[in-house]
Chain A
Amino acid sequence: MKHYLNTNKQFGKFILLNFLLLFFFQCNSSEDKGLNALVDEDNIIENQQLNNVVYSVPAPSEMAGLLIDNPNLVFNPEFMNPLNKHEQYTTNEKLAVNLGVYIADLSFASYFEQNQVSKEYYNMTHKISEELGISNAVNEKQANSIVEGKLNKEQLIRIINETFMNTDAYLQENKRHDIMAMILAGGWIEAQYIAVSYTECEVNKYADLTQSILDQSISIDIMKRMFDQTKSNINLDKFKDDFSKIEVSYKKMGTSPSPVDFKEFCELIKTIRKAYTN
């Protein structure tokens, strides 16, 4: 009996040690408490990719590149979401969506090699990432090179993409695919908002830009499937609804949209963007 109790105690210690190790690994892998706290608050949501199927929605920088990296356009900072609006974003949902919005804005400024603006928006994305508990996504060396402002657009985009990949990895590791889904939705809408703003909702103002906007219709299906796959305690239905409305509008426009249908699409994007950023 004594031997049995001793064995049990030893085994108990072993299990305790294992759980302590597990705790240590989990803390070390994220190097912050913010998101872990979020996970606790949300009762730990399991958000795994189902059956190893991944719907890879374009990153905000890719969206910006596809839509806005256009030699016919001149940089217009008025299309960007003002930095001072950040103070309004107090929930995780608003922070996540607007992190995507600001990353799209940062990419927009970077494609036009607006180094000072890029620096300010990079700092904002860093700040929001920290508020969401994902600050270790930022590589200090790369952050400094942006702050020094001596990079061309390709170098800037490389840094933005690598930083975003760190964020993606971090959120996957912490099973927060819902946060990533909202970031991607925000980035998608912001890139479209900037593009339609250039067109002034006129289908023929920039024919190549209109074509780029139309091209994005294929990514809606991937976006919707990603939301269908993502489990969350945050209600994601409104995002699904938004993209369903956009899908309907795309179908209505077809490959050669009428001025009325294009204007309708343009206004829809503006309405959704307003809801995300206000």
Chain B
Amino acid sequence: MKNIKIILLLITIFALSENTVKGQCLSFVKDIGFSVLDTSRFIPEGRLTAISLSEGDNMEVHKSFFKGKTYKIVVVGASNLPQADFKVINLQKEVLFDSSKSKNKKSWEFTAAKNQNLTISVKLPDTKDPDNVQRGCLAVLVGFKN
């Protein structure tokens, strides 16, 4: 009986927190993500790529980029999360950008040299406190110059 109570309680708490986190993702993207994107220079694309992740989790975004267009990719996480590392990788598995080797940890501006599908591979660092693993919204935003 006690176990059932605990399970029910955990399910309820998880469902509540999950819904609240998702509800907060959009406003987080518009507040923080748009600021890093610099919407005076880049028009945000209409897609929202934001997932609730825990420390140590990975995320991959597959997207088409078109020759001659200038893009800015932004990766931002909720304030309770550490800064995520991200790489941009082409179909040949070549790394075109690695935030861990760049001064700019949150974004990458580039002009596409050709039409290609790229993978934006995001990794949240592992937790330093296994008893208190942080979870929150992580967003990948793409903007373009018109």
Contacts and interface: CB of A to CB of B under 8 A. Distances in A.
Interface residues of A, number: 45
Contacts of B116: 218
A165 interface: yes
Nearest to A25: B19
A114 interface: no
B36 interface: no
B117 A56 contact: no
A55 B62 contact: yes
Nearest to A58: B64
A59 B8 CA distance: 40
B44 A52 contact: no
Given A52-B53, A161-B43, A222-B117, A15 B22 contact: no
Chain B contact surface mostly: mixed
B79 interface: no
B117 A221 contact: yes
A222 B30 CA distance: 25
B59 interface: yes
B48 interface: yes
Interface of A: 11, 14-15, 18-19, 21-22, 25-26, 29, 49, 52-62, 65-66, 69, 154, 157-158, 160-166, 168-169, 172-173, 215, 218-219, 221-222, 225
Interface residues of B, number: 43
A218 B39 CA distance: 27
A112 to B, nearest CB: 14
Contacts of B140: 54
B112 to A, nearest CB: 11
B45 A52 contact: no
Given A55-B62, A162-B46, 17 more contacts: A19-B12, A22-B12, A22-B16, A22-B19, A25-B16, A25-B23, A52-B57, A52-B60, A61-B46, A154-B43, A164-B47, A165-B48, A166-B26, A173-B22, A173-B23, A218-B64, A221-B117
